């Protein structure tokens, strides 16, 4: 199933890049994804096999015509017709990965016990950008179990500067000494 999401998301990216609309379509895809997330019954309705496909496509037209680019609307219709709407989230992630790779962008997931302020965000983005050589987009998550500090996941690597991580390191060292 993941291959289907990669194929469709990548194909939409190729079309958007050819038409020089990749950034706009990415933003619209995220908006549609948020709408589906906020209204799961609507997404379920579009996937309901007892409703004729023509009616489901008409529902897409009513909701999105004039609100999103025709390429994205046609994409939504295509995946609805092929009963692949449940994989839209994976298609969005595949599209975004292709977009990021083409634009030298890397996503970093940042977990903290308390929210970062704007100055901390800016300093972190700058430091990660220097380290990776890419433009950094932060995805912030709150995690009270960290107690304090920060954990960053970037390019498949984890940088753990959390209090919980440091305590775990100390525990491992103590266990090594005791053994």
What are the 10-residue block averages of pLDDT along the chain, 179 residues in total?
89 96 97 95 92 94 95 96 94 95 93 92 93 92 86 88 80 79
Token pair of 2 as six digits: 């993941």
Token pair of 54 as six digits: 């023509």
For domain 2-100, the CATH architecture is: Orthogonal Bundle (1.10)
Rg (CA), the chain: 21
Domain segments of the chain: what residues?
2-100, 105-178
For domain 105-178, the CATH architecture is: 3-Layer(aba) Sandwich (3.40)
pLDDT of 164 reads 77
pLDDT of 177 reads 82
Phi, psi (5° rounding) for residue 117?
-90, 170
Q: What pTM does this model have?
A: 0.78
């Amino acid at each position: 199933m993941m291959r289907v999401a990669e194929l469709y998301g990548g194909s939409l990216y190729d079309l958007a890049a050819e038409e020089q609309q990749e950034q706009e379509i990415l933003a619209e895809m995220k908006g549609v994804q948020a709408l589906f997330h906020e209204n799961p019954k609507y997404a379920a309705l579009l996937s309901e096999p007892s409703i004729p496909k023509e009616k489901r496509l008409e529902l897409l037209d009513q909701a999105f015509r004039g609100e999103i680019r025709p390429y994205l609307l046609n994409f939504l219709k295509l995946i609805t017709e092929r009963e692949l709407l449940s994989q839209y989230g994976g298609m969005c992630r595949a599209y975004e990965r292709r977009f990021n790779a083409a634009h030298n962008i890397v996503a970093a997931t940042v977990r903290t016990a308390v929210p970062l302020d704007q100055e901390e965000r800016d300093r972190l983005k700058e430091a990660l950008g220097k380290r990776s050589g890419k433009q950094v987009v932060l995805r912030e998550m709150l995690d009270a179990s960290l107690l304090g500090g920060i954990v960053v996941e970037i390019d498949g690597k984890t940088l753990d500067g959390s209090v919980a991580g440091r305590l775990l390191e100390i525990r491992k060292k103590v266990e090594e000494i005791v053994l």
